[in-house]
Structure 1
Amino acid sequence: MNIVSRSAFPVLVTDVHAIGMIGVVRALGGAGYPVIACDAEEDALGFSSNFVRQALVCPPYGRHDFIEWLRDVIVDHGIRAIIPSEGFLVAVRAHYDEFSHLMPTPSRASLVYDCLSKTAVIGKFIEAQQTAHLPTTYLIQAEQELPTEAELATLSFPLFVKGDAADAREERGGFVCAVQSAGEACRLVRERLVDFRRILVQAFVPGVGVGAHFFVKNGAIKQEFMTRCIHEVPHTGGYCSLRGAWWNDEIMRDARAKVLCLGWEGVSMLEYRWDKFSGKFWFVELNPRFWASLHVALYSGINFPVLLVDSARGATVSVSSPQVRPVFVRYTFPFDVGYVVSRIRDKRLPFLQKAKSVAEWFLLFFDFRVRSDLLFPGDRMLYLIQFYRFIKSLVVRGGS
């Protein structure tokens, strides 16, 4: 096979405002790939990366001229691969067959869009009898009988009502809403089924977020990795602002079975909740695209983006042993600040715990094991840009 060199293989990386896609830009650009970055936001943080060959502002995904813009970019820049975000995949759904040869995703559109749907993923696990470690879940479609308040009242609260952009009747983003009563859940389900073909209601499960990360090629797992969330925003559960490399054999066994059951090819992250007190865990969702905690793998020497694109261009890929090193990665501004603020504002926490959280936040700057998402070797300016934006937002809010 005549393998095209990396320098002759331009890659379009989408949605570079997102921290996971910034990690993709750095990984590919650092490996010698010409990276063309695109985003609808003119000030997308990833545009300022030293690893971007060219930055392109694209039309918003919902606009009628986006597809024509994409066609022109592919021709004008000789694009050989596209790293899609979820939003990008939803935007090109009607044209998936036209662009699928450029995306390192499954060739079958139905598999791709089912894997973008939490409802479809859970449904496939139930159909394949892969029901171990699933939270109690109701899968709901408009034409089916809806669960009653009495049925939902038996679940653990809060309940989470979820819908995905892949299941929207028109182009719109997905949603996740936490509700505190069965009646509120029923009302929200009825309202959302107007805009979404299918949604799910899921019971609360305790614990912290953990991720099982995979690169799958030809039905075989080639690379795997795990992370655990340490700080979430808010602290009761949400976006992970401090995470670290981690390993759990039992969760990984379950994740391997689930990702292979789905038949997904390429990269993916299976998200779980893990209760460290009981050792129990529950599958929450599949992310069949690059994830926010990608920098933990990069700092640990596991380069998922390069594995993916090297494989796509026909090169032989070498994998790394997922040895757990003491690597922690923090998204300091604004997210880890938000973690501390959420603890300070929580009236249930005693003063000493709040004070401890504030002290820990400062002490993390002196922990050599803690890296920064944005203070990346060869690309440290992004940290300063984000810090400036954070301070500016505080000044604007303070003056309003």
Structure 2
Amino acid sequence: MSDGKRYRVLVLDADMIPALTVSRSLAQRGCHVYLAGHVERPLASRSNAIDTYYQYPDPLQSTNLFVEWLLAHVESNEYDLVVPVTERVVVPLSRNIEKFSRIKIALPSRESLEVALDKSRTLTLAKKVGVPCPHSVTVSTVEQLSAAAATLNFPVVIKPSRSIAVAASGSSQLQVSYAFDLSELESGCEHALKFGPVILQEYFAGDGVGIELIAKQGEIIYSFQHLRLHEVPLTGGGSSLRKSVPVMPDLLEASRKLISALGWNGVAMVEFKHNPRSDKFCLMEINGRFWGSLPLAAAAGADFPAMLFDLEVKGAVGAYPPYRNNVYCRLLSRDMHWYEAILRSDADTRIVNVPDAAGVLKGLGLFLHPRHRYDVQSLLDPLPGLIDIGQMLKIYYSRALAFLDELKFRGQQRKAWSSGEVAAAISSARSILFLCYGNINRSALADVLVRAYAEDSGIVVASAGFHDEEGRPADPVMVEVAAQFDLELGNLRSSCVTPQQLRDSDVIFVMEKRHYDKLLDMDIGLSKKIFLLGAHHGGTSRSVEIEDPYGRAQDVYLACYEQVVEAVDQIKSVIALQVGE
């Protein structure tokens, strides 16, 4: 730094890419940078910007142990600043800030942070200061969903009130999801409501943009804007490709109102959706910490880590030059998943505009753009980027081997059906077991379809799952689908498969290869009597696996129902021949 002192900074959350960006920035400005995280050897720990790497207990799994570790560590090491990067450490540090009175931690006030972390309180604040938001309803119980849904237009975005939630069972990272009808809303809220209130928002179509900023006591000192180009998953998630764009005055003014009302001190990213056709925008959330696209800001010249250091250590942010527009930055490993998802058509086109071939090629062409940068790869700090590429190659090699194994398995299963091996097994069987994960959709459906028919022939039919919670009713969406075909599933209750049940079953039908693999892990001797239900030669589906429809759109449930019925018809025809019908 300009005063000649070599400041000592501890950066937390080492497994996150922004921690690497923070470390590189502060090291370039003469700081001794020390890194800490809960994983053994994260990418950032290989950076030449790092003096030493320390490992601490997982803040999500062992929050108290993490706080105790950090207390002991900072008391035995002299740091000028501790920089948290994610909510999983920001939250426990903020709530225990009194214990850290002897060390400077880059955190906003607890009061302002609590409002930013709680999406319900953020929305309340936005309405108070006149910042537009999607129409929203907050629910606390499943019983409130029907009344709430009546006030909303589908699709509905399901947002847990907090991204990091705490319950008696422990902390959990909660995700945003989407619902297109009431049944999807109920299944989508089931898990999140265990951890607290859930916000239901009408979907607002638009581009994902963020105003990234640093503020001192509610006054924005420097701002930056990015536009999301690729997101993973495609329905909305972390960005894998984005570019720097000029700050839109309306978005900056909306951010100013929020930051001023919060009295915010430090860095933040205010996230919006902006519809370029109508020029309307809505607030999505406030990230009261460093954000995932921080490498783009740094590449464009908006050095927020250095600004934060100035603010926290020196009390004021110095003069920083304007950032460059039309700089692109890509998180290579995540962006590979984006291209895979496009190739697999792995997107709900009801809310995602999937690019055509020209759009995909345009994205690939950006690799040659003179202002194209990478989140991890850097010529000045090459090792993390090289390791990142090596890890990607290793993953794709493993996936290629798994894909070949999958093809071999599917071929063997198809042959078992077409050669008569499955028919022979059914003909000599006295007991048949249908197996899936939860025993509330696929295996339960097959059980009901076959049981009465088979038991007339002296064959005992049962179904089970790997899910360890027994006695659950059939999935209400599948119950509704089955009722359309006069099939009653409402009286079913799930059961968990046992080793004895597996030994006693003469034929076991599974829905996916992973079910087959799991059974072999339990008992390799079962291999001769396990068959893939959907691999029969009479199927109209391209897939031989019958995927779990749980929590998905109703047409997925219908497709699952039809696959199971087709397979069951094959089984019934074998039984019919056996009894001479």
Same fold? TM cut 0.5 = yes
The structural deviation recorded for 1:211 is 0.5
In the alignment, what sits opposite 1:11?
9
Q: Which runs of 5+ in 2 are unaligned?
A: 403-581
1:47 aligned to which of 45, 48, 51: 45
Q: Shift of residue 134 of structure 1?
A: 0.4
- CA–CA separation in structure 2 for the residues paired with 1:391 and 1:152: 49
Correspondence 1:75-114 to 2 at 5 A: 75-84=75-84, 85-99=86-100, 102-107=104-109, 109-114=110-115
Matched, 1:22 2:24: no
**For the structure 1 residues 183 and 263, does the alpha-carbon distance in structure 2 shift closer, same or farther, using more than 3 Å as the test?**
farther
Summarize the Cα distance change of 1:152–1:162 in structure 2 as closer, same or farther, 3 Å threshold: farther
Contact between 1:9 and 1:80, CA under 8 Å: does it hold in 2? yes
3-state SS in 1 of match to 2:96: helix
- Alignment-derived partner of residue 431 in structure 2: none
- Verify: 1:68 aligned to 2:84, yes or no: no
C-alpha contact (below 8 Å) 1:11/1:79 kept by paired residues: yes
Q: SS of 1:268's equivalent?
A: strand
In the TM superposition, what are the counterparts of 1:161-240 in structure 2 within 5 Å?
A: 161-165=159-163, 167-169=165-167, 170-186=170-186, 188-189=188-189, 191-196=191-196, 198-240=197-239
CA-CA distance at 1:347 after TM superposition: 7.9
The one-letter code of the counterpart of 1:68 is E
SS in 2 for 1:221: strand
Structure-to-structure mapping, 1:128-139, within 5 angstroms: 129-139=128-138
Distance 2:4 2:173 in 1: 34
Question: Is residue 366 of structure 2 the alignment partner of residue 364 of structure 1?
Answer: yes
Question: Deviations for 1:135-173, whole angstroms, at most 9, x for unmatched residues?
Answer: 11113346x983534644632414323242555334322
Q: 1:33 aligns with which of 31, 34, 47?
A: 31
Alpha-carbon separation, structure 1, partners of 2:373 and 2:175: 31
Q: Which moved further from structure 2: 22-31 or 353-362?
A: 353-362
2:515 counterpart residue number? none
Give distance in 1, aligned partners of 2:187 and 2:339: 33
Q: Name the SS for the 1:245 alignment partner.
A: strand
SS at match of 1:103: coil
Query: Does structure 2 conserve the Cα–Cα contact (< 8 Å) formed by 1:223 and 1:319?
Result: no
SS at match of 2:99: helix
SS of corresponding position for 1:148 = helix
- Partner amino acid, structure 2, of 1:14: L
Q: Which one of 124, 147, 154 corresponds to residue 152 of structure 2?
A: 154
Residues 251 and 56 of structure 1: is their aligned pair in 2 closer, same or farther, counting only changes over 3 Å? same
156-165 or 297-306, which deviates more: 156-165
1:280 aligns with 280
| Separation in 2, partners of 1:269, 1:54 | 29
Whether the aligned pair in 2 keeps the contact of 1:343 and 1:354 (CA below 8 Å) is: no
Shift of 1:86: 0.8
SS of 2:370's partner is coil
Q: Which moved more, 1:235-244 or 1:208-217?
A: 235-244
| Cα pair 1:208 1:237 within 8 Å, conserved | no
**In terms of Rg, which structure is larger?**
2
Return 247-256 or 88-97, whichever deviates more.
Answer: 88-97
Distance in 1 separating the partners of 2:369 and 2:293: 19
Residue 294 of structure 1 and its aligned partner are, at CA, apart by 1.1
Match of 2:123 in 1: 122
Secondary structure class of the residue paired with 1:383:
helix
Are 2:71 and 2:100, in contact at CA under 8 Å, matched by a contact in 1? no
Are the equivalent residues in 1 in contact too, given 2:301–2:324 (CA < 8 A)?
no
Q: Could you tell me which residue of structure 2 aligns to residue 271 of structure 1? A: 271
- CA deviation map 1:326-359 (0-9, x unaligned): 3111112x2222222222222899xx95433453
Contact 1:267 1:290 in 2 (8 A): yes
Shift of 1:364: 2.2
Q: Distance in 1 between matches of 2:234 and 2:325?
A: 25
The aligned amino acid for 1:314 is K
Residue 112 of structure 1 aligns to a residue whose secondary structure is: helix
Range with greater deviation from structure 2 (268-277 or 378-387):
378-387
Structure 2 counterpart SS, 1:378 = coil
2:395 is the counterpart of 1:393:
yes
Structure 2 CA distance for partners of 1:27 and 1:323, relative to 1, 3 Å: closer
- Matched with 2:357 is 355
Q: TM-score, normalised by structure 1?
A: 0.88
Check conservation: 1:343, 1:357, Cα contact below 8 A: no
* Number of equivalences: 390
> Residue 331 and residue 24 in structure 1: after superposition, are their counterparts in 2 closer, same or farther (change >3 A)?
same
- SS of corresponding position for 2:365: helix
For residues 211-259 of structure 1, give each alpha carbon's deviation from its aligned partner in whole angstroms, at most 9, with x where no partner exists. 1011111332111111111122234433211111112222121121122
How far 1:323 moved relative to its partner? Answer: 4.9
Question: 8 Å contact 1:123–1:139 — kept in the other structure?
Answer: no
1:192 Cα offset (Å): 2.9
* Higher percent of residues as helix: 2
> Hey, what's the Cα distance between the residues in 2 that align with 1:244 and 1:367?
12
Higher relative contact order (CA 8 A, sep 6+): 1
CA contact (8 A) 2:15 2:43 kept: yes
Q: Contact (CA 8 Å) 2:115, 2:121: kept in 1 or not? A: yes
Cα pair distance change 1:210/1:200, threshold 3 Å: same
Residue 277 of structure 1: how far off its partner (Å): 2.0
Distance in 2 of aligned mates of 1:347 and 1:15: 30
TM-score (norm 2): 0.62
Aligned-residue CA RMSD in angstroms? 2.7
Describe the superposition over 1:343-396 as per-residue Cα deviations: whole angstroms up to 9, x where unpaired: 2222899xx954334533442222112111122352122221111111111111
Determine what percentage of the aligned residue pairs are the same residue. Answer: 24
Cα drift, residue 130 of structure 1: 2.4
SS in 2 for 1:201: strand
Measured in 2, the distance between the counterparts of 1:392 and 1:230 equals: 27
Q: Contact between 2:156 and 2:178, CA under 8 Å: does it hold in 1?
A: yes
Tell me, what secondary structure is at the counterpart of 1:368? coil
Letter in 2 for 1:49: S
Structure 1 residues 163 and 245: alpha-carbon distance in aligned structure 2, compared to 1, 3 A threshold: same
Aligned-partner Cα distance in 1 for 2:143–2:361: 52
Supply the AA of the counterpart residue of 2:217.
N
Whole-angstrom distance in 2 between the partners of 1:318 and 1:160: 41
SS in 1 for 2:74: helix
Aligned to 1:378: 380
C-alpha distance in structure 2 between counterparts of 1:11 and 1:341, whole Å = 39
Contact 1:161 1:185 in 2 (8 A): no
* In 2, Cα distance between equivalents of 1:167 and 1:120: 15
